[in-house]
């Protein structure tokens, strides 16, 4: 087996098992917490706290990852995975209620959210020669999420809610074994090249310097955050949305699985699409599809219509994930690579913070349809901001005259 094939198989496995770890936490978090006695407002507060903590953790770790080789992406992901394993094991063994469960689950969710950006950065640690097809490997992650979601939905109905933290434990153990193998592989080969590539571009910026240098990017991220609010709301309160149209946990599992499967074509084909369209154009298209999805979900009144609405995932999340990774690396300095990737993760996390804190309360106060309409309007406003800021980022990049070519 050649090096290119081996790298792609390795990174595809990293993506797959990582999303198997995350699916029970993120995809079944609200169902898990509601089943042990929490209200939707309680769930929103816990989700919000997890995302707030992740917003703090990600910048700190990403700045260290850019500046210090001891904080490699693989090692950071491994530490966060150990934390998820310990917390989920405690949940499964004790099945506590009240404050103890709230703390344990919030801790697991924080680690899951924080790890996402560093799993993306593992690609650059493993590979400096464009051997890894990120889109195809990320698609394997979505396929793994789909398989986990559909099977876990039926497992919860048959075996009870305790199966959710047990699933996290099993997947985390497998993930740690894979990360250990990756760490051994990069020692002496990819690790040195990763840091040499970053160091050749100069010293990494601090966060204030990075923000000053990329003002239009910051505005773009604001627009993305407003568009992404609806997606975050739908991800964390999927059971509320499904039950509103007469569905149950098994319907939720199937809809989530379908949405994950529909992400795959865009991810797999992105490397070919990017040869014809620049990453910024693909990013804009994906955000427009997010807005269309928000309107369709708001309008749905049956499980079938809701399933159709989620089919917009074909053009939204899959293309957004791949195009944002490519776009971030192309419009910022190589020395700020992890920080640039973290920006997109941070803005989606910030959207999740707002959705978590406000979403549960809005569902109870305004009802499901009014809350979904509010999120759809937010998506429209965010898309307008993206339309204004995206061309200015391109012109600013051309004036500075640098692109992160070494990492593409």
Distance, CA of 233 to chain centre: 14
Of residues 11, 205, 267, 229, the one with CA closest to residue 127: 11
Q: 52 and 179 in contact (C-beta within 8 Å)?
A: no
- At 348, the pLDDT band (50, 70, 90 cuts) reads confident
In this structure, the number of other CB atoms found within 10 A of the CB of residue 164 comes to: 26
Burial of 201 (0-12, 13-18, 19+ CB in 10 A): middle
pLDDT of residue 328: 79
Q: 356 and 234 in contact (C-beta within 8 Å)?
A: no
Of residues 283, 305, 282, the one with CA closest to residue 293: 305
pLDDT tens digit sequence for 116-159: 888 988 887 887 656 788 888 988 988 898 888 878 888 888 88
Which of the pair, 4 or 89, is modelled with greater confidence? 89
Of residues 122, 162, 125, 155, the one with CA closest to residue 18: 122
pLDDT of residue 407: 35
Q: Please give the structure tokens belonging to residue 147.
A: 């398989």
Query: Using CA of residue 117, residue 118, residue 123, residue 125, what is the dihedral sign?
Result: positive
Among 2.60.40.1120, 1.10.1660.10, 3.90.550.10, 1.20.1250.20, name the CATH number for the domain at 3-407.
Answer: 1.20.1250.20
Query: Using CA of residue 255, residue 258, residue 262, residue 267, what is the dihedral sign?
Result: positive
pLDDT tens digit sequence for 293-319: 999 999 998 999 999 998 898 889 889
In this structure, the number of other CB atoms found within 10 A of the CB of residue 335 comes to: 20
Residue 191 and residue 113: Cα distance in Å, rounded?
Answer: 24
pLDDT of residue 166: 93
pLDDT tens digit sequence for 28-83: 887 888 888 888 778 878 877 888 888 888 888 877 766 666 778 889 999 999 99
Domain boundaries, the chain: 3-407
């Amino acid at each position: 087996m050649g090096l290119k094939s081996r790298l792609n198989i390795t990174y595809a496995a990293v993506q797959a098992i990582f999303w198997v770890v995350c699916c029970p936490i993120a995809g079944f978090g609200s169902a898990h917490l509601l089943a042990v006695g929490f209200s939707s407002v309680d769930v929103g507060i816990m989700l919000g706290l997890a995302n707030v903590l992740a917003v703090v953790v990600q910048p700190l770790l990403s700045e260290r990852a850019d500046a210090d080789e001891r904080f490699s992406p693989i090692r950071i992901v491994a530490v966060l995975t150990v934390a998820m394993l310990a917390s989920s094991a405690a949940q499964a063994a004790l099945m506590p209620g009240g404050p103890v469960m709230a703390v344990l689950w919030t801790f697991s969710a924080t680690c899951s959210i924080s790890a996402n950006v560093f799993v993306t950065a593992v690609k650059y640690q493993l590979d400096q020669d464009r051997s890894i097809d990120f889109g195809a490997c990320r698609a394997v992650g979505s396929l793994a999420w789909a398989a986990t979601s559909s099977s876990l939905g039926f497992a919860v109905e048959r075996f009870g809610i305790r199966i959710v933290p047990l699933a996290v434990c099993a997947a985390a153990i497998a993930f740690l074994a894979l990360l250990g193998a990756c760490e051994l592989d990069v020692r002496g080969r990819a690790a040195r090249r990763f840091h040499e590539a970053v160091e050749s571009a100069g010293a990494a910026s601090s966060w204030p310097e990075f923000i000053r240098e990329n003002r239009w990017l910051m505005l773009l991220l604001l627009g993305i955050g407003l568009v992404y609010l609806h997606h975050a709301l739908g991800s964390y309160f999927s059971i509320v949305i499904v039950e509103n149209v007469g569905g149950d946990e098994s319907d939720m599992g199937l809809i989530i699985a379908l949405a994950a499967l529909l992400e795959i074509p865009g991810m797999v084909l992105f490397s070919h699409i990017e040869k014809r369209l620049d990453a910024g154009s693909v990013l804009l298209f994906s955000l427009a599809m997010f807005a269309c999805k928000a309107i369709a979900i708001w309008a749905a009144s049956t499980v079938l219509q809701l399933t159709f609405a989620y089919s917009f995932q074909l053009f939204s999340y899959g293309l957004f994930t791949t195009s944002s990774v490519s776009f971030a690396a192309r419009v910022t300095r190589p020395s700020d690579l992890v920080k640039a990737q973290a920006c997109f993760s941070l803005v989606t996390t910030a959207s999740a913070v707002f959705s978590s804190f406000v979403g549960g309360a809005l569902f109870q106060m305004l009802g499901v349809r009014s809350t979904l309409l509010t999120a759809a309007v937010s998506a429209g406003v965010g898309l307008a901001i993206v339309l204004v800021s995206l061309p200015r980022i391109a012109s600013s990049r051309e004036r500075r005259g640098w692109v992160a070519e070494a990492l593409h």
